[in-house]
Amino acid sequence: MTAVSPRPATATLLDRFREVRARTDRLTRDLSPEDQTPQSMTEASPAKWHRAHTTWFFEEFVLAADPGYRPRDPAFRFLFNSYYEAVGERHPRHARGQVTRPGVAEVAAYREDVETQVADRLAAGTLDEDALALVELGCHHEEQHQELLLMDLKHLLSGNVVQPVYVERASDLDPDAAPVPLRWTHLPGGLTEIGDAGAGFAYDNERPRHRTWLEDVDVAARQVTNAEWLEFVADGGYRRPELWLSDGWAAVQQHGWSAPAYWRHDEDDGWTTFTLSGRRPLVAAEPVCHVSFLEADAFARWAGHRLPTEQEWEAHASSGHEVHGGLLDPERCHPGVAGEVTLGEVWEWTASAYLPYPGFEIAEGAVGEYNGKFMNDQHVLRGAAAITPASHARVTYRNFFPAASRWAFSGLRLAR
Amino acid sequence: MTAVSPRPATATLLDRFREVRARTDRLTRDLSPEDQTPQSMTEASPAKWHRAHTTWFFEEFVLAADPGYRPRDPAFRFLFNSYYEAVGERHPRHARGQVTRPGVAEVAAYREDVETQVADRLAAGTLDEDALALVELGCHHEEQHQELLLMDLKHLLSGNVVQPVYVERASDLDPDAAPVPLRWTHLPGGLTEIGDAGAGFAYDNERPRHRTWLEDVDVAARQVTNAEWLEFVADGGYRRPELWLSDGWAAVQQHGWSAPAYWRHDEDDGWTTFTLSGRRPLVAAEPVCHVSFLEADAFARWAGHRLPTEQEWEAHASSGHEVHGGLLDPERCHPGVAGEVTLGEVWEWTASAYLPYPGFEIAEGAVGEYNGKFMNDQHVLRGAAAITPASHARVTYRNFFPAASRWAFSGLRLAR
Amino acid sequence: MTAVSPRPATATLLDRFREVRARTDRLTRDLSPEDQTPQSMTEASPAKWHRAHTTWFFEEFVLAADPGYRPRDPAFRFLFNSYYEAVGERHPRHARGQVTRPGVAEVAAYREDVETQVADRLAAGTLDEDALALVELGCHHEEQHQELLLMDLKHLLSGNVVQPVYVERASDLDPDAAPVPLRWTHLPGGLTEIGDAGAGFAYDNERPRHRTWLEDVDVAARQVTNAEWLEFVADGGYRRPELWLSDGWAAVQQHGWSAPAYWRHDEDDGWTTFTLSGRRPLVAAEPVCHVSFLEADAFARWAGHRLPTEQEWEAHASSGHEVHGGLLDPERCHPGVAGEVTLGEVWEWTASAYLPYPGFEIAEGAVGEYNGKFMNDQHVLRGAAAITPASHARVTYRNFFPAASRWAFSGLRLAR
Amino acid sequence: MTAVSPRPATATLLDRFREVRARTDRLTRDLSPEDQTPQSMTEASPAKWHRAHTTWFFEEFVLAADPGYRPRDPAFRFLFNSYYEAVGERHPRHARGQVTRPGVAEVAAYREDVETQVADRLAAGTLDEDALALVELGCHHEEQHQELLLMDLKHLLSGNVVQPVYVERASDLDPDAAPVPLRWTHLPGGLTEIGDAGAGFAYDNERPRHRTWLEDVDVAARQVTNAEWLEFVADGGYRRPELWLSDGWAAVQQHGWSAPAYWRHDEDDGWTTFTLSGRRPLVAAEPVCHVSFLEADAFARWAGHRLPTEQEWEAHASSGHEVHGGLLDPERCHPGVAGEVTLGEVWEWTASAYLPYPGFEIAEGAVGEYNGKFMNDQHVLRGAAAITPASHARVTYRNFFPAASRWAFSGLRLAR
C-alpha cells in the first residue's frame, strides 16, 4: 500500500488520529466484555480483537520502527497480527474468539498506551515522512475495521435467540411506504479514466489512474429495494436454476437460501430483518441489504438487466448525476454513525472481479501485503454503507468480498 | 435416573444444596467475563454456560414442576438446556460460546434467584419426595459440571499463547523424584457382585447391583506414572502400529499424537505440561494424565499387560487393598479442591465399553435421558480425579468418554 | 489368529481349498469388468479387489514364506494388502476403485497361478504345520470376503438408476403372507460357558472358551420381520427421539433415515426393497434386513424389549431350541447360495460391544492383526445371513460392524 | 451457446461429424473396460461417461427435437446429462464412476446407433438450420470432451503404483537440452478489438467482438519452461509466502505443493513427471505443464514479471508475431494426436477472471447453459495444448478453470 502526497500538515494528522481512535471507543462503549470476546465464524473477529489489532498496527509499523522501542507485550504481536506473513507467526484466525486474556480492560490500556505514544510523537514532530504516511494509513485501516467490527457484531448478535439490541432506535419509517421510482442515467461510451488521481489518501489498489474504454450504458439512479427483492422471492427467484450462476445454484442448495441474510418470515410478524437495533419489520422502500454477489447476479438476470462493471460504476459516480440509495434514511442501519453517509446506504456489488489495475504496484515490506494478495476469487463492491465512516468513503474505493458472502452491508444497483 | 431411599433429612439436603452451589461460585470467582464466555471445542462449554445450565436444571425439574411457577426468562429454557430432547428445542451445542447475553452478571443473578427459591422450599418443607430426589440429583449433576467446568477451562486456557494461570500454586514436587515402585494385588476369581447396593445416592447407570463372574487377576497397586509414559515415548510407542488398535493408529496419524495432551517438549525446558497453574515441568512420579483410551490401550500392550475391566476394577477397589494414584499429591492439579480426593488422582480407563448393567431401567420422563442414551461407543473410566468433588466420588461410579478423548483428567492402571 | 488342532488330513484341505476358490469364481462369473472395478464407499471394495486380495493372502502368507519364492508382481503386494501394517505400505483404502490395472483378466491369471502353486504344495505334502494352518485360515478368510463381495456389490448396484439384477430369481413369496407368530424361549440363568472349544477351526476372537454368569432370560424364537418393522415406521419410530440412543438420533437426522437401507416407498409400488435380484416388493414375513445397530436398539426399546447380549445369544443358540429366521426362504437373498444357511437368514445385532474375551491372546506376526485390532467402537452380530457360506457359519462366530452400518445383511432378534 | 453463419455445406458437416466421432473412438480403442469406468475425483469423469455424454448431446439436442423420436433408453438421459438443469434431474456428478451399467459395449452400441441416425439425417438433408447448428456445436462439444477425457485419464492412471502407459512413445528429447532463449515482443497500446468476428464457429463466450483499450506491453515469445520452473523451486519458490496470493499460500500449505502436479523427485531418477506414456525424465526445455493459476501467478512475481491479460494475449496472438511453446515437440504429451497443434504445447493462464464480454448474450434454452453459468471464480486460459484437437484451437478461444486446478495441461507465458 502506498501513501499519497502532498501530505497533510502534522497538526491535522494528530486531530484525525485522535478522532478515528475515539470513534472506535464510542462504537464499543456499550458492549460488555462478553459481547467483545466471541467469534461467530472464521471470517469474523471479536470486537476486542478489532480494538487490539488496529492498535497493534500502529505499534508494529510506527512505534516499533524505532529501534529503541520496547513492545508492551511480546504476545500481542502473535495475538493481534491479522495476516501479515512478513511480520511473523500469528494466532490462528479461526480461534480468535478463544483468546480470553488479555481481557477488555487490558486491551483498553494497550490502546491508551500506544495511542499516547503515537500522539506524543505526532505532537513533537519527531516522525519522518514514512512514519507519517503509516499513521495516516493506520487511520484508514482502523476505519475499515470499524465497519468490520459492526458487521461482525451484527452477525454474532443475530445468532442469539433474544435478538439483542446494540443501539436503540427512536422511530421507524413506514414499512409499506413506496420506494422512489426507478430511473436510469445514460452514460455515453468512449475512452475514460478511472482510479485515484493522487490528490488525497487512497489505497494501493485504487491506483494507478488509468484509461479504460466504455461502451454506452444506462445505470440505475437508485439501488434495488426490499420491495423489488420481495417480488423476486415471490416469483420463485430462489427456486429457478436458470436464473443462477452454477456456483449460485449450488450455494442456494447448500445453504438453503430463500431470502437475504437476516430476513425471516413468520405468520405473526410477516417479513422482518435483524438489525443492530434488534429484529424489525422489513421496510419496503429501503435498499436491499445482505445479499451475496451470487444473489445480486441472479436478481439482475431475473430483472432482465445486469450489474454494472466497476469501471461503469465509477464513471457514473463521477459524472455529477445523482447517486443515492433507496429511501435515504441514514439512521436506518446504525444511528450512532448518523449523517455520515453520502454515497449510498449499502455497498453495491459490481460485475467485476477484484484484480489489479493496469500498472498496479505492490508496496515494499509488510504493509505491501495489504490489498494485492487478495486479488483472487473476490468480487468488487463500490460505494459505501450506512455503517461506513464518512471519511472512509470515496468514489475510487474498491471494496471486495467472496461471491457467496452476505454479512457485509451489501446490495446492488442495476445497469443495462 | 432413579433416586435412592432412605432419603436424607430435609435439613441436611438444604446444607448440601448450599454447599454445592457455593463451590461452583468459588470455582468461577476469579474468572473474568471473557474467561467465562468462549467454547474451545464442541465437546466443551463456557464456564458461564455451566453456571447457568446447572441452575436451569433446578428451575426446570424442581421449580417448574409447580404449575404456578413463572420462568425467570423463557429464553433461558432454550439457551441452557443441554441435551434433554423431551424438554424441547435448544440452542445448538457447538454455538454455546456465541451467547454473549445473558452475561456473567445476569447469570449470577439467575443463579441467586433460583437458588433462593429452591432453598426457601427446602426450608419450608413444601417439596414432595419426587422433588427432593430431584434436588439431590441436581446437586450431583452440579458437581459433575464442576469437574467439566475445570476440564473445559483448562482446554480453553491451554490454547492461549500466554499460557494463563487459573490458580497460583506455591511449590512443586521434585520433577525427578522416583515414583512409588509398582506392586500388584492378586484378586481370586469367582462369582462376585458389583453395582450400587442402594444405601446412598447413585446414578441410574450404577444399578442394579448384580452378579458377575471373574477369573483370577492381578491389579496394579498404583496408576501408571509420567516416568513410565516417557519410557513408552522413548521406545517409539507413538510410531509402532503393532501396539495400537486400528482406530488408535488412525488417531495417531490424524491428530499427530506424539505424547499426552498438554505435554510439550522443547530444548530449553525439556518436558513440560500445561496445568491449571500454567505450564510446569513434568513430574516423573505423578500419574500420567490426559491420555485417551486408545493411548492407554497401546501403552498396556507395550507394557505386556492390559487394562482391567470395570468389573475387575470395582472388585479391586472394594477389596480393602490400597488403591491410590502415583505420588499422592492432591494439590497437583487444582489446589482449590485440595484434600478432597481419596480414590486416586486421575480417572482410570478400563477395558469395558459403556453398556447397561443387566436389568438396567431408564427412569420415566426427561431426567431419564440422563445416562442411558449415551451407551454407545463410549468407554468406562473408574475412580475420580484431583478435580472431582470428594462428595461426587464413589466406588461404583461409572464415568465415560469416547475412545479418543483426552481432555478429561484421565490416566490408567494396569492389570494382568 | 490361531489355528486349531487336530488338523484335517492334507487331502481334505486340498479339496476344501479348491472348493472355496471355485465358489469365488462362481460368484463373479457373471459380472462384467465394469461391475468389478468401482468402489461405492470407503468401507466397500471392488469385486476385482476381493478376488485379488484373497489370492494375495495365500501368496503372502503361504507361498512367500518360502525364501525361494519370487512374487508374481511386486506391485500386487502394495495394491492388494488390506490393512496388515506389518506387511508394509499399501494402496489407500478409499482409492481401491481407481486401480484399473491389473484388470479382471490379469487378476484371473493371478488367481490361477497362485492357486496352482498352493494346490501343488498341498498335493505334494511339502507344507509344514504352520503353512497348513495358514491355508485353512486363508480359506475362511476367502469365505468372509465372499460375503463382503456380495454386500459391496449390492451397495454398488443399488446406486444405479436402472436397479440392475445380479442374479435372476424365478419366483417370490406372497408379499402379504403372515409371519410365523412370535414365541419366546426361556433360558434359566447360572454359570455357563461360551466361546470356541477347540474341536474345529475358529478365529482367534472366538477364544478362549470361558465361563460367564447369565441371569434368566427369554429369547425370541425368530427374528424381527418386515411386518413388525413397518409397524415401527408407522408408529413414528424414526421421528421419536425418546426411542433412540443419542448417537442414533444424531444418525437419523444426519442421514435422513426413515426406513432400513434399500427400502423405498412410492405411490405406485408401495414398499419395495433393492435385492441382488433387482428391486422387489417388500415381503412382510421375511426378517428385516439392512438395519443398523442404532435402529435395532431403537426398535427393541419401542417394542418394550431389548437385544440379547452375545453371551445370551450363544447360550440360546447352543441350547437345542429352534433358532431360525422369519420365513425361512433361503432363496430370498441370493439363490446362488441356496440351501446353505442353517442359522438364520440375517445376521443379528446383539447388545454387546466387540471386545476381547477374558484371556484373549493375539497371534504372533502379521496374521495377528486379523481380529484383535478392531476391538473398539464396534458391535457384535451373531448367526449368519443368507449370503454367508454355510461352511463359514458357526455358533461361536463373532461378526462385528460399527453401530451405524447398514450394508451388511443385518437384522435382529429380541430378548426380554 | 450460439452458432455462426455462414453455415458450412451439409456435406462438409457430415464429414466433420464422422471425423470427430471417429477420433473419440481412436482415443479409447486401447482402453480396457476397467480403464474406462472409474472417476478419480469429482471434477473428472470416466472415459466411458465422456463417450456416452457426447453421444447424449446429439441425441438430446438433435434427435429428440423430432417429436417422433423414441429415446434408446430413458435411463441414459438421467445418467449422461452433465449439468443441464433445464433438461431435468441427473446422476450426481461425484458418482459417475459407480455406473457400471451400461458397460463399455453398450455405450459403444449407443454411440453407433445415435451416430447412424444423425449421419442419416445429415446425408438426407432433413435437418433444419437450428439442428445443423446444433450438430456443429455437438462436434465442438465432443472435441472439448476429447481433451477432458485425456486429462481425466492421465489423472486416473497417475494414481496407480504401476504408473501405466496409455500410449507408447518411441524416443525422448535430451532432458538436458537448453531451451530456446527468452525474447520479448513489444505491442504498442491503443484501442483494439478482440473476440470472435463471426466468420467461423465460436462459442458464445467468445462474442461479441468488441473494443478494448490496451497500454504498451511486452509479451514473451515463448512459454515458461521446466528449466525455469526448476530455478523457481530451487530458489524456495514454494516456501516464500511473499511470492503468493493469499489463496495461493493457503493452497501450498493445504495440499503440500512443492512442484507442479505429476512431478516427483527421488535420489535414483532425479526429477521425473508422469505422462500418458508413463513416468519419464523431466525435459528441461519443454514448457512447464500442470501448474495452477496460483502457481503461475507466484512464478511471475518471482520472475519480476506478470501474466498477460486475455486481451493482451489475444492482441499478441493476432499480431503476426511468432507464438509458440518451449521446445515444439508435438509428440511430447500424446503422440496419438501428433502434428495437430499450432498454438503452443500447453494452455496459458492469463491474469483475467472469466467474465462475460461487454454485450454478451446467453442463448435460449438448455444449450444456453453451456458457458455463461460458469462465469464466477474461474480464470481464463488461452491457446491450446498438445492434446487439444487442432480443429478445436483458435485465437479467440477462452478456456477456463478454477485458480487451484492443476490437471489441465496448463502452463504460462510472461508479460511485462
Domain limits for position B216 = 184-411
Confidence label for A339 from pLDDT (cuts 50, 70 and 90): very low
Cα–Cα distance measured from residue B242 to residue B220, given in angstroms and rounded to the nearest whole number? 24
Q: Give CA separation, D230 vs A167, D2, D260, D271, D284, in Å.
A: 58, 43, 10, 9, 8
Say which DSSP state C59 is in: I
Higher pLDDT, D267 or D199: D267
Total domains present in chain A: 2
Q: Is B74 on the interface with A (CB under 8 A)?
A: no
**According to the model, what pLDDT value does residue B307 have?**
98
Are residues A192 and A144 part of one domain? no
For residue A1, the model assigns a pLDDT of 30
State the burial class of residue C151 (Cβ atoms within 10 Å of its Cβ: 0-12, 13-18, 19+): buried
Span A297-314, pLDDT tens digits: 999 999 999 999 999 999
A323, pLDDT greater than 70: no
A89, with CB counted inside 10 A (0-12, 13-18, 19+), is exposed
Residues of A in contact with B33 (CB under 8 A): 32-34, 37, 103
User: In this structure, what CATH number is given to the domain that contains residue D251?
Assistant: 3.90.1580.10
Structure-derived torsion over alpha carbons of residues A16, A18, A20, A24, reported in degrees to the nearest 10: 180
User: Do A114 and A75 share a domain, yes or no?
Assistant: yes
Round to whole Å and give the CA distance between B347 and A116: 52
Is A69 in CB contact (< 8 Å) with chain B? no
CB contact under 8 A, B98 and A160: yes
Q: What is the mean pLDDT of residues C255-259?
A: 98
Q: Which residues, at least 6 apart from C40, have a Cβ–Cβ distance to it below 8 Å?
A: C97, C152, C155, C156, C159, D98
Domain membership of residue A86 (yes or no) is: yes
Angle between helical axes of A47-58 and A10-28 (0-180°, round to 10): 160
ipTM here: 0.92
Interface membership of D85 toward A (CB under 8 Å): yes
C175 falls within a domain: no
Q: What is the pLDDT of residue A6?
A: 41
pLDDT attached to residue A136? 96
- Domain assignment present for B148: yes
Q: Do residues B382 and B272 lie in contact, with contact meaning Cβ atoms separated by under 8 Å? A: no
- Kindly tell me if the per-residue pLDDT of A4 is higher than 70: no
C-alpha cell at A343: 454515497
| pLDDT value of residue B83 | 72
Tell whether C98 lies on the interface with D, counting CB pairs under 8 A. yes
Q: Are D118 and D124 in contact (CB under 8 A)?
A: no
What pLDDT band is residue C391 in, cutting at 50, 70 and 90? Answer: confident
- CB contacts, 8 Å: C246 with chain B: 83, 373-374, 376
> Once rounded to an integer, what is the mean pLDDT over residues A252-279?
95
| Residue B335 C-alpha, separation from nearest chain A C-alpha, in angstroms | 22
Q: Please give the Cα distance from B379 to B351 (Å, whole number).
A: 8
Tell me the average pLDDT of chain D.
89
Tell which wins on pLDDT, A329 or B270.
Answer: B270
> Does B103 reach chain A within 8 Å, measured CB to CB?
yes
The shares of helix, strand and coil residues in chain C, as percent rounded to the nearest 5, are: 40, 15, 45
pLDDT in tens, B221-238: 999 999 999 999 999 999
Q: Would you call A247 and D377 a contact, using CB atoms and an 8 Å cutoff?
A: yes
Reported as a single tens digit per residue, the pLDDT across D109-156 is: 999 999 999 999 999 999 999 999 999 999 999 999 999 999 999 999
Residues contacting D126, CB < 8 A, separation 6+: none
Instruction: Report pLDDT digits (tens) over D267-320.
Output: 999 999 999 989 999 988 889 999 999 999 999 999 999 999 999 999 999 987
Instruction: Give yes or no for A93 touching D (CB within 8 A).
Output: no
Task: Provide, rounded to the nearest whole percent, the portion of chain A with pLDDT above 90.
Answer: 75
- Three-state SS for C250? helix
User: Shortest Cα distance from B150 to chain A (angstroms)?
Assistant: 15
Q: Work out the mean pLDDT of chain A and round it to a whole number.
A: 89
Cα separation of B58 and B133, whole Å? 11
pLDDT band (50, 70, 90) for residue A172: low
When pLDDT is averaged across residues C177-201 and rounded to a whole number, the result is 91
Say yes or no: B145 and B216 in one domain: no
Is the residue at A3 inside a domain? no
Give the model's pLDDT for residue A77. 86
Reply yes or no on whether the pLDDT at C366 is more than 80.
Answer: no
- C166 found inside a domain: no
Question: Is B201 strand, coil or helix?
Answer: coil
What is the structure's pLDDT at A327?
39
**Would you place residue D5 in the very low, low, confident or very high pLDDT band (cuts 50, 70, 90)?**
very low
pLDDT single digits (tens) D363-378: 776 666 667 899 999 9
For residue B354, is pLDDT > 90? yes
Rounded to the nearest integer, the mean pLDDT of chain B is: 89
| Whether C126 and C195 share a structural domain | no
Assess whether C127 and C225 both reside in one domain. no
Q: What is the DSSP letter of D309?
A: P
Residues C45 and C144 in one domain: yes
Q: Which residues of A touch D375 (CB under 8 A)?
A: 245
B309 plus B398 within the same structural domain: yes
Instruction: Please tell me the predicted confidence (pLDDT) of residue A366.
Output: 66
In the B/C pair of chains, how many CB contacts fall below 8 A?
72
Report the residue of D81, D214, D246, D293 to disrupt the A interface, i.e. the one with the largest count of A CBs within 10 Å.
D246
**Are C246 and C390 contained in the same domain?**
yes
pLDDT in tens, C30-81: 999 999 999 999 999 999 999 999 999 999 999 999 999 999 898 998 899 8
For the stretch B320-347, pLDDT in tens is: 765 555 544 433 443 333 333 334 589 9
**HSE of A300, CA atoms in CB hemisphere, 13 A:** 27
Burial class (CB in 10 A: 0-12, 13-18, 19+), A264: middle
Q: How far is CA A76 from the centre of its chain?
A: 25
Q: How distant, in Å, are the alpha carbons of C42, C163, C347, D103 from that of C158?
A: 16, 6, 20, 16
**CATH code at position B52:** 1.20.120
Could you tell me if residue A167 is inside a domain?
no
Share of chain A above pLDDT 70, in %: 89
Task: Check residue A371 and give its pLDDT.
Answer: 79
Q: Is the pLDDT of residue A127 over 80?
A: yes
C-alpha span between B134 and A316 (Å, rounded): 70
Query: Do A314 and A395 lie in a common domain?
Result: yes
Query: Cβ contact (<8 Å) for B162 and A91?
Result: no
> Quick check: D336 pLDDT over 80?
no
Q: Looking at the structure, tell me whether residues A130 and A192 fall in a common domain.
A: no
pLDDT at D19: 95
Nearest 5°: the CA angle D260, D265, D269 is: 130
B180 confidence band (pLDDT: 50, 70, 90): confident
Q: How far is CA A39 from CA A290, B101, B213, D159, in A?
A: 19, 14, 53, 40
Minimal CA separation from C241 to chain B, in Å: 7
Q: Residue B391 has what pLDDT?
A: 86
**Are D128 and D201 in a shared domain?**
no
Chains D and B contact (Cβ–Cβ under 8 Å for 3 or more pairs): no
B339: left (phi > 0), else alpha (psi -120 to 50), else beta?
Answer: left
pLDDT for res D272: 95
For chains C and D, count residue pairs whose Cβ atoms are closer than 8 Å: 87
Chain D 158-187, CB below 8 Å of chain A: which residues? none
Provide Rg for chain D, Cα atoms.
22
Task: Report d(CA A348, CA A325) in Å as an integer.
Answer: 10
**Is residue B170, in this structure, part of any structural domain at all?**
no
**Within a domain: C95:** yes
Final residue belonging to a domain, choices A98, A124, A158:
A158
Instruction: State whether D98 and C160 contact (CB < 8 Å).
Output: yes
A173 has a pLDDT exceeding 80: no
Please tell me whether residues C87 and C190 are part of one structural domain. no
pLDDT bin (cut points 50, 70, 90) of residue C319 is confident
Write out chain A residues lying below 8 Å of D86, CB-based: 241-242
Q: Give the model's pLDDT for residue B344.
A: 53
Nearest to C169 by CA among C2, C365, C329: C329
> How much is the average pLDDT of B300-309?
97
Q: How far apart (Å, rounded) are the C-alpha atoms in residues C342 and C337?
A: 12
Q: Grid coordinates 443495462 are at which residue?
A: A416
Helix-strand-coil percent breakdown of chain B, rounded to 5?
40, 15, 45
